[in-house]
A = this chain, B = another copy of it.
């Protein structure tokens, strides 16, 4: 089995009763700044504050009663963890979320508020710690990206984009491990083959740029970035082939451009999204993706889990 438009459609049917069909907004106030017609798919307005609920639900709705009875474990930079915690509560089970110590406070707080147990560790050891906890408890792992059910779930946002804006010319999405971009690019290219689709990733962690150049997944050196939701140093082994086949490219983006995008989105577009979610806007501001004034470009805003105190970085 691999991720196809059929598995993504099936996922959409499965999760639709639980998710928000988030709005696709036309933000004309940003056109002059970005040099194209700006649209956003506002997954920052998704339940739990991020697109991650799509994948987590698609995975967890297929678990057996017995599996659910033993709880779930997830390694996450925050947004996947909140989604898994939400699903665990909804489905009457328990969740342990393993997070990097560098995750913003607001993300830790939101997960604890859903009743999940949070374990903090170094970003590099989060999968190892999660696997140990899973084994100890006989629980089920809900992977953040490297899983076909997860990828199919994230791809459902692509079905909605094409339905909500059929004349879209380009889609730009953040990328980390590649669960979102893998699913999204598969869905968009199946439904609208002429639409171009790009990923944007931190220049400090260019795992997809490097891997696409190499032709296979490579691990990049870990450098600090303000993109706290985009911390993978290696593409997911199942995600990479989907991205390689369907995306038109992935571009590295400087933190400063990402923050410029976040500020424009907030003050001119009136939409709050977290720094990582604005990296696609940053890619166009940086000139890394060629656009033109008549082109309809839809930016997927991956999440909105940002605290008031974090807005000071925009000043």
- Chain A positions within 8 Å of B, measured between CB atoms, are 20, 23, 25-29, 42, 44-45, 47, 49, 263, 266-267, 269-273, 304, 306-309, 311, 314-315
Q: Which of B27, B47, B304, B308 contacts A45 (CB 8 A)?
A: B27
Q: Which of B270, B271, B315 contacts A308 (CB 8 A)?
A: B315
Bound Cα distance from A311 to B315, whole angstroms: 11
This protein's copies in its complex: 2
Q: Which of B47, B266, B267, B311 contacts A29 (CB 8 A)?
A: B47
Contact B314 A308 (CB under 8 A): yes
With both beta carbons as reference points, the residue of chain B lying nearest to A42 in the complex is identified as B270
With both beta carbons as reference points, the residue of chain B lying nearest to A44 in the complex is identified as B270
Pick 13 A–B contacts, CB within 8 A, sort by A. Answer: A20-B28, A23-B23, A29-B45, A42-B270, A49-B270, A263-B308, A266-B272, A266-B308, A267-B307, A270-B273, A271-B272, A308-B311, A308-B314
Bound Cα distance from A77 to B314, whole angstroms: 26
Q: Contacts A25-B23, A308-B314: A270 and B267 contacting too (C-beta < 8 A)?
A: no
Contact B269 A270 (CB under 8 A): no
Contact B308 A267 (CB under 8 A): yes
Bound Cα distance from A302 to B269, whole angstroms: 15
Q: What residues of B have a CB within 8 angstroms of the CB of A315 in the complex? A: 308-309
Contact A270 B25 (CB under 8 A): no
Q: What residues of B have a CB within 8 angstroms of the CB of A270 in the complex? A: 42, 44-45, 49, 271-273, 304
With both beta carbons as reference points, the residue of chain B lying nearest to A106 in the complex is identified as B267
Contact B311 A45 (CB under 8 A): no
Q: What residues of B have a CB within 8 angstroms of the CB of A273 in the complex? A: 270
Q: What residues of B have a CB within 8 angstroms of the CB of A27 in the complex? A: 45
With both beta carbons as reference points, the residue of chain B lying nearest to A303 in the complex is identified as B270
Q: What residues of B have a CB within 8 angstroms of the CB of A20 in the complex? A: 26, 28
Q: What residues of B have a CB within 8 angstroms of the CB of A308 in the complex? A: 263, 266-267, 311, 314-315
Bound Cα distance from A195 to B134, whole angstroms: 53
Q: What residues of B have a CB within 8 angstroms of the CB of A306 in the complex? A: 267
Q: What residues of B have a CB within 8 angstroms of the CB of A44 in the complex? A: 270
Distance between A293 CB and nearest chain B CB, rounded to angstroms: 17
Contact B23 A47 (CB under 8 A): no
Q: What residues of B have a CB within 8 angstroms of the CB of A47 in the complex? A: 28-29
Bound Cα distance from A29 to B45, whole angstroms: 8
Bound Cα distance from A306 to B272, whole angstroms: 13
Q: What residues of B have a CB within 8 angstroms of the CB of A26 in the complex? A: 20
Most chain B beta carbons < 10 A, residue from A28, A47, A267, A315: A267
